Amino acid sequence: MKELAGALLLLFMSQASGKAIPWQGEPFFIYSRGMKVTNLLNDLGVNYGIPVVVSPEINEKFSGKIVDKTPDQILSELAGLYNITWYYDGDILYFYKTQSIKREFISPDGLSTGTLIKYLKQSGVPAGKNCAVQAVSRLNAIEVTGVPICIERVTSLTKMLSSQVRKQNQNKETVKVFQLKYASAADSTYQYRDQQVQLPGLVSVLREMSAGNHLPLAGEKESEDAPVSAPLFSADPRQNAVIIRDRQANMPLYSSLITQLDQRPVQIEISVTIIDVDAGDISQLGIDWSASTSIGGAGVSFNSGEAAPHSDGFSTVIGNTGNFMVRLNALQRIRAPGFYPALQWLP
């Protein structure tokens, strides 16, 4: 920040200065009857080697003489006669009507008003009554009072400084932790038959997405000279969190992306019942196997007992084509020894 401020200060000093006007040249004198004040001021600037810009609002005419007077005395006399004020920015001497003095509020972006005023004063932009700057703390703004070129210059320098500070802050590296609710930060594995299946975590997804790709900031042009550090992603299994180190400007993008990926998964409930029983005692479990079919118009059945052909149960399992039925009735002895219900959740 100090290096940036120093570089900008040198730039400001070259663009604006509140020092006294460096008059150099022979004494100025003139005799006139009806000479335009605009021409008089231009001749004054030419005589002392100072570029002059005169507002179109100054359209009066001068009649009289100017002899044996210093440049400051000449300006004071003309100011009293024609209601004129002036502002010197270090290169050009501007002349305006006094009613051209305005007041505006400017809000800096990314820096405090105190810091802004400090560097504006060191740059020499404020110059007395024709260009004054003060802080308005409750608005986080500065109040600029002065001629149009003063307000224009302060506005331009404020935007320049704010832009440089904002750019520096955006390119500043930062580390942020994003905790997950549903997704897994680290990779996970599970056994499927004889294979180990790996499910990529959110960190792996982010690494794959950012591999070999660098997206510039909004409004930023690619620069071959500007060094770009790749983002770093890490998983914290203890908190199930994603740790990201990257530029500050990219953090809102990661936050939005992680929110979209960290969603509640759709789950299927699978109920599994484990039965541990001797083959000889299977009848005691209350399992009734029965089947029936028709072959060539004749019915064949086994273990049908005395059940009526149209008794309650499954009328068809495969449809009407085969007219085949299998019925399995298990006693609901949840707490019986050797009967183990189990519940498994699969994503």
| Tens of pLDDT, residue by residue, the chain (347 residues) | 444 444 443 333 333 334 588 999 899 998 988 899 999 999 999 999 999 999 999 999 999 999 999 999 999 999 999 999 999 988 899 999 999 999 999 988 878 888 888 888 887 777 667 888 989 988 889 999 999 999 998 999 888 888 888 787 778 888 999 999 999 999 888 888 888 888 889 999 998 888 765 555 444 554 444 455 788 999 999 899 999 998 888 899 999 999 999 998 776 666 655 555 555 555 555 555 555 555 555 555 555 555 445 444 444 344 433 443 444 444 444 444 554 444 444 44
180 lies in the same domain as 241: yes
Domain stop point among 262, 280, 302: 262
> How many helices, marked H, and strands, marked E, lie in the chain?
7, 18
Q: Do the domain assignments include residue 148?
A: yes
Q: Domain count of the chain?
A: 4
Q: Do the domain assignments include residue 216?
A: no
Q: Name which of 215, 269, 208, 281 is nearest 247 in CA terms.
A: 215
Pair 89, 22: CB distance under 8 Å:
no
6 lies in the same domain as 95: yes
186 lies in the same domain as 145: no
Q: Where are the beta strands (DSSP E) in 148-193?
A: 173-179, 188-192
62 lies in the same domain as 92: yes
63 lies in the same domain as 80: yes
17 lies in the same domain as 94: yes
Residue ranges making up the domain that contains 235: 174-210+230-262
79 lies in the same domain as 58: yes
Q: What's the CA gap between 146 and 136, in Å, rounded?
A: 16
CATH number at residue 146: 3.30.1370.120
Domain stop point among 51, 77, 99: 99
DSSP per-residue codes, 95-135: EEEGGG-EEEEE--SSS-HHHHHHHHHHHT---GGGEEEEE
Q: Do the domain assignments include residue 128?
A: yes
Domain stop point among 99, 121, 148: 99
130 lies in the same domain as 119: yes
Q: Where are the beta strands (DSSP E) in the chain?
A: 30-36, 52-54, 61-66, 84-88, 93-97, 102-106, 131-136, 141-146, 173-179, 188-192, 195-199, 232-236, 241-247, 268-275, 288-295, 298-302, 325-329, 339-346
Residue 27 per-residue DSSP state: P
φ/ψ (deg, to 5) at 94: -100, 140
Q: Do the domain assignments include residue 30?
A: yes
56 lies in the same domain as 83: yes
Torsion of CA 128, 130, 132, 138, to 10 degrees: 150
Q: Do the domain assignments include residue 224?
A: no
291 lies in the same domain as 205: no
Residue 17 per-residue DSSP state: -
Q: Do the domain assignments include residue 72?
A: yes
What's the pTM? Answer: 0.52
Q: Do the domain assignments include residue 168?
A: no
91 lies in the same domain as 18: yes
CATH number at residue 23: 3.55.50.30
So what's the pLDDT on residue 209? 85
Structure tokens at 56: 């179109």
Inter-CA distances, 20 with 12, 16, 148, 254, Å: 17, 12, 20, 54
Q: What's the CA gap between 304 and 201, in Å, rounded?
A: 55
Residue 24: HSE in the Cβ half-sphere, 13 Å Cα cutoff: 4
Convert 217-229 to b/e letters by CB count within 10 Å (16 or more is b).
Answer: eeeeeeeeeeeee
133 lies in the same domain as 192: no
Pair 231, 250: CB distance under 8 Å:
yes
Q: Do the domain assignments include residue 217?
A: no
